[in-house]
Every structure is written in structure tokens, then in C-alpha cells.
Amino acid sequence: MSRFCPLFSSSSGNCTYIGYGDGAILIDAGVSCRSIMNALAAREIAPETIKAVAVTHSHSDHTAGLKALIKKLQIPVIASADTLRYLDEHSLLPPDCEKIIADQKISICGMEISSFCTSHDCCGSCGYTVMMPDDRRIAVCTDLGYISEDIEHSLMGCDLVMLESNHDINMLKKNINYPFPLKERILSDHGHLSNGQCSALLPRLIRGGTTRIVLAHLSMQNNLPMLALSSARACLTEAGLKEELDYILYVAPKEGGKMFIL
């Protein structure tokens, strides 16, 4: 059976587990190697079953523990060519590690990993879909300013979609601790998805076959789980879709996310 777990999900660190049988990958390693190893141990996941780390982009909340983890587990890193170049140039990878460019389907333990481009304020940002050996399909899509037609096409038909629901626009605009340029960056086409942007896509995903939605990468300063859930439920209810019948909705916590068995 296919397994999925958001080990860590927030603007302070991200790492997602996707596994099948005795093989698995991680999407991002944005917390310390020790924290990732502890999270795996808490779920009785043997470290040797992790066969690769696929990196969405170069920001530290997705790469902070990458170098130590790759060195410890002796596994390859998957990323776009631009992201791999950045990681190399900034010494964020062990010098002798195996690097795989995510420009075509990559097969690891029967899982077929594909990437799609995302709009974020760094070169080579991408999301991933993973076709599992049991024909389940999983998508991880965070850190993007808007949802393009290509992105929607990539997500359509996935059984489980992890989608960014980063901020509540009103909370962000009223946040006196965020300078105006930072607010502009978050709200731009190279920033992050708001609750509303995320929610608007959900009915089309559900009608396209998605049964599990994981809202992810919530801002700790500009969002609340109840606001993300309320926004998503409102759009889905308006579309005539019923929770627990047509879909399962879940907010990934900062850490300690649940394991999904597909």
C-alpha cells in the first residue's frame, strides 16, 4: 500500500515522506537531520528505506538538513538543474553525492517521480508527482505564487494532493511585523498561495478524482488551521461536495503529521 506523511510543514521547515513497501523518498529536508531521523523513528520507518530526497527549491526551509541527511544516508538528491547548481555553489550538498536532474521521469523502488515547474522567487522551483506501484498518484505542490494551467494539469487525477494554503490575506495585510515589500512578495505571482487561491482549485481536483487533500505550508504568522479549513470547506460545499463522502480534508501541522495509507 502507498503511504504519505507530512513530517514537517510550515515556513520554518518542510519534509514529506512518500513510501511503498520497503522503499521511500522524502520531498525536501528543511529541518535538521536529527529532527528528520527522529520523525522517521517515531513512525517506525527504517532510515535505510529512504532511497532519495527530491528538493522542490533552494530556500532554507526546504534544504536546511539536506547536506547532513544525504551524507548520513548516502542517497541521491533529485532537483531541477538550476536548483542543483545553486546547492552545489553554496556548498549545500556533500561534494561526492549523486545528483539526478528532475527533467524526466525517475524510477526509484517502483515509484515514478515527475516534476512540474512552479512560480516562486528562486530559479528552478518545482513540485512533484509520484506514481506509485499500486497506481496511486500523489502530488506535492507548495511555494508558488499562482496555479498555472500546467500545474493544474499535473495535479489533476492524483489520488492525494498536498497543496499550499499559506496565508489568510487579511491577516497578512494587517500584520504590523511584516514590512510592505515582504507582503508584496508573498502576494505576488512569485510568492505563496493564499487560502482563497488554494480553495478555488479544490472542487476541480475532487471532480477530477482526488479524494485526499492536504493543506500545507501554512504561515505561522499569517494563517490559522481553522481559517484554511474554513476557506476550503466553503468552496467545496458551494460546489456540492461533501466531506468524508467525496473527499478527506487535512491540515498538515508544523510537525507530527499523520500517516495516510492510500
Q: What integer best gives the mean pLDDT of the chain? A: 96
What percent of the chain stands above pLDDT 90?
94
Where would I find the beta strands (DSSP E) of the chain?
A: 2-8, 15-20, 23-27, 50-54, 77-79, 99-101, 106-108, 111-117, 126-131, 137-141, 160-164, 212-216, 248-251, 260-261
Q: pLDDT tens across 216-234, in order?
A: 999 999 999 999 999 999 9
Q: What per-residue confidence (pLDDT) applies to 50?
A: 98
- Which of the four pLDDT bands, split at 50, 70 and 90, describes residue 182? confident
Average pLDDT over every residue of 181-207: 95
Which among 198, 208, 182 has a CA at the least distance from the CA of 235?
A: 198
At 206 the three-state DSSP class reads: helix
